Amino acid sequence: MLSKFDYKSCEKLIFELAWRELFHHVWLHQGDSIFEHLEHAQAFESEQIPEAVLNNTTGIHGIDRELKKLSNGGIIYNHARMWVASLVCNFAKTSWKSGARWMYCLLLDGDLASN
């Protein structure tokens, strides 16, 4: 890439590829322990994804728009993934593992090591 384009044009793609590579190495060294709580267990009330998230009816226009893209085409950009994760885990008190499984099944670019 750098032989054809300047660094500034490639920077974000290089960063994303390096980030994904890092987490593949972490997964290789940590094994399936990456699927457990790394610091301390969190208390969750539910294993179910909230209906408003599943139906794209959270009432938050930007998030509902991104959820429609996810459910219709398997695409949701990184910041929207974090917004949805916050709604699911922090506000709805749903287990992060349930949220991760649900989103992974919908994502075209799902990658256990980095998602």
DSSP 32: G
Task: Give 54-95 pLDDT, tens digit per residue.
Answer: 999 999 999 999 999 999 999 998 889 999 999 999 999 999
- Residue 110 confidence (pLDDT) above 90: no
CB atoms closer than 10 angstroms to residue 66: 20
For the whole model, what pTM was predicted? 0.77
Task: Give 4-51 pLDDT, tens digit per residue.
Answer: 989 889 998 898 889 889 988 988 998 888 888 767 777 788 899 999
Position 115 scores a pLDDT of 65
Q: In what helix (H) or strand (E) does residue 7 lie, and over which residues does it extend?
A: helix 7-30
Q: Positive or negative CA dihedral for 99, 87, 84, 32?
A: negative
Concatenating the DSSP letter of every residue in 37-100 gives: -SS-----SBSSPPHHHHTT-SS-HHHHHHHHHHHHHS---HHHHHHHHIIIIIIS-B-HHHHH
